[in-house]
Amino acid sequence: MLGKREPELYGNTTLDEINSDLEKLGGKLGLTVETFQSNHEGAIVDKIQEAVALQKGIIINPAAYTHTSIAIRDALLLLDIPVIEIHISNIYKRKSFRRTSMISDVATAQIAGFGVEGYGMALEALAGMIQSR
């Protein structure tokens, strides 16, 4: 629902636009970008588990699951690759329940509050992490 839900907080950019921009930037950085979105926690866990053997790094915006999902956190623990947690808004300037991340202590890094530009920042940082490994 990105681009429709709370545009004053998340902006008007759609997820398809972000994904397209990431694929283009990935090409410039020499990376193949695969995108995935689901509203179902189990599907997200399945996708993370697939990454164990298939991916060199992950950028994840767990959205509301940031604050609640031990299952996603545990799945990320399986990975031996860089993981960047991203949030469009600054979760630390929002309601108190949104300030807790179940993911941050297992993520390699976190980017929050830069709007949709944070996705490009995350991909560039991930490219650097992958190169330095």
Query: pLDDT tens digits for 3-28?
Result: 677 767 777 889 999 999 999 999 99
The pLDDT of residue 76 is 98
Q: How far is CA 47 from CA 15, 24, 108, 120, in A?
A: 18, 22, 18, 21
CATH level 2 (architecture), domain 7-132? 3-Layer(aba) Sandwich (3.40)
The answer on pLDDT for 40 being more than 80 is: yes
Residue 92 a catalytic site member: no
**Which tens digit of pLDDT belongs to each residue from 55-78?**
899 999 999 999 999 999 999 999
Catalytic one of 10, 65, 92, 119: 10
Bridge partners (DSSP) listed for residue 60: 85
- Alpha-carbon distance of 92 to 53, in angstroms, equals 33
* 101 contacts 76 by C-beta, under 8 angstroms: no
* Residue extents of the structural domains in the chain: 7-132
* 101 contacts 65 by C-beta, under 8 angstroms: no
Catalytic one of 40, 67, 87, 92: 87
Q: pLDDT band for 97, please (50, 70, 90 cuts).
A: confident
Specify the pTM. Answer: 0.91
Residue 67 a catalytic site member: no
